[in-house]
Amino acid sequence: MQQTHKFITYGSVTSPRGFTASGIAAGLKYSGKPDMGLIFSEVPAKVSGAFTTCVFAAAPVQVCKQRVLENESARAVIINSGNANACTGNPGLDAAHEMCSYTAEKLGIRAEDVLVSSTGRIGVQLPMDTIKSGIDKAVAARSSEGGNDLAQAIMTTDTVPKSAAVEVELSNGKVTIGAAVKGSGMIDPYMQVPHATMLCYITTDAGLEKKQLDDMLYSGINQSFNRITIDGDMSTNDTTIIMANGVSGVQVQDKDAAVFSAALQALMQQLAREMVIDGEGATKFVEVNISNAATEADARCLAEAIGNSLLCKTAWFGNDPNWGRLVAALGYSGVKFDPDLVDVCYDDMPVVSKGGDAGTPEEELAEVLKKSDFKVNVNMNAGSAGYWIWTCDISYEYVKINAEYHT
């Protein structure tokens, strides 16, 4: 398929027409940094969402999940960082609903048209006076240039804000897709439609039906956010929301669906990659690629065993080509296979051949691991199925960040 999209320099959630956003400091973070954000659509926007499968789903996740199931459209998303509003019981649910209703009151829209997200420390009740004051500021500050402010306001341990946008050429005109994402730790999402934290907000001025949004979001997530792991820990608050307001006047027709979906996937993959690169304390971006497994389920299980292995991840940090850790992860993955058939390469350099040492000098393998971006390619020689994930190393800094973390 010919590429029909291009990335926009400094793109954000306000790159699509008809959206405004803001990011302000409400006082939830001890640091005084921005900690509340708002996304607003001038007109009702078709909405879809995907959420954590963690049983301890946070209050805002529970509220959003219900609203996305029950409603075809939404107008706004109110977001706070510095407090996850997770494991907070009925008071937390009341607070999430109050965030929606108070935001709606200030915007002059219905409460059910507002979605809500939170990220930060788990188990702490929201200070609603501070939250309401922040909502006042966020509503007043929203603008068509506010997308990058929003991206800053939703950060926790992220070191950089993450925003992007693409312009897409369809058969009947151009549309734009914008997005903001946060997350650098507690990252191993498995989100379903509709069903430190990963939060993503996607906006588009294209016209789509809700079923189209559901299908495209699920497809995009399974090729992006559900393929990344930083530390193997799924959050209570993982959320992805997409809003399509149709302000461009361009409807995504059936013949354009593949083009639009490809652009959406490219945008999501770009932000997923940025999340892994900005992983807490990360120094290496690693693609784990399993090929020729018996089934895709096997391939995924094998890839995730390597990607979540602390021994593999610390070896990568130390530039240590210790492939014994890697084959051990394959071995305990739960997948049944013949170990005497397995081949492994770091990039294109042989590491394991037929289950044993490939004979490449260790110093040559170490040179591959010194790179900031490399691949672990595993050929199971057991079938034709494959699966890839993106992950990173674990450094001293990761331990420091998470040992000392408080909002």
Active site residues: 197
Q: Are 389 and 227 in contact (CB under 8 A)?
A: yes
Beta bridge partners of 76: 40, 114
Query: In this structure, are residues 360 and 351 in contact, taking their beta carbons and an 8 Å threshold?
Result: yes
Give CA–CA dist 324/321, Å, rounded: 9
- CB within 8 A of 310, min separation 6: which ones? 394
Token couple for 218: 């699920």
Question: What distance in Å separates the CA atoms of residue 86 and residue 125, rounded to the nearest whole number?
Answer: 8
Amino acid at 174: K
Which residues lie across from 126 on neighbouring strands?
Answer: none
**Residues 6+ positions from 45 with CB-CB distance below 8 Å:** 73, 74, 75, 203, 243, 244, 245, 246
Region of residue 356 (phi > 0: left; psi between -120 and 50: alpha; otherwise: beta):
beta
Which alpha helices (H) appear in 187-256, and where do they start and end?
Answer: 210-222
Spatial separation of the C-alpha atoms in residues 170 and 284, rounded to whole Å: 37
